[in-house]
Structure 1
């Protein structure tokens, strides 16, 4: 199964989600998004695939979210993408894409919904 995880190895939730994928016998494509930030187009596509507004993929804690005034609801998606492009840490994690869908996997167990049913039980042991 082809799975991609937008991962931050310093994040416990992201490490747990990656561990659940691997426990299901799947080696995902791991994108360390702080080292290799996704393009604006990819970020916008991820939000669309997840079925959420772009704003829902923003991380507040431990980021320049407040100092950049990103709580301002009048900001456009283009402005939010500008901020994420300048500060990739603003992208929340982990985001997982599989043939079964895409999701921001917080809590990490949410990733089980994106794994084949037979493998999901192996990941929850």
Structure 2
């Protein structure tokens, strides 16, 4: 699992490419809030939009999140903890006036880019 990238995943790159082609600029793998020790995949600081492109395994996708067959107790607890942390991150950012967008890696990059672009332009 140490070879699993935390940034520049194929899903993230596809969304970034589409957003860049639409003229949107963003920060990559950045902390939305300096006091929050968590990083968003894409951050639009001026518009206060944080985007997370969640992997199906790591974040427990209801459609594609498959449990691990080996060491399942560990992985179930790990993924459950990730989901709790995701909700906490959403809450903390929203309390500070941020819009949080979460996209599953299996979702269409075009649909994700449409959603993100609309949110960013709506907050400009």
TM range (shorter): 0.3 to 0.5
TM-score normalised over the length of structure 2:
0.38
**What is the TM-score normalised by the length of structure 1?**
0.38
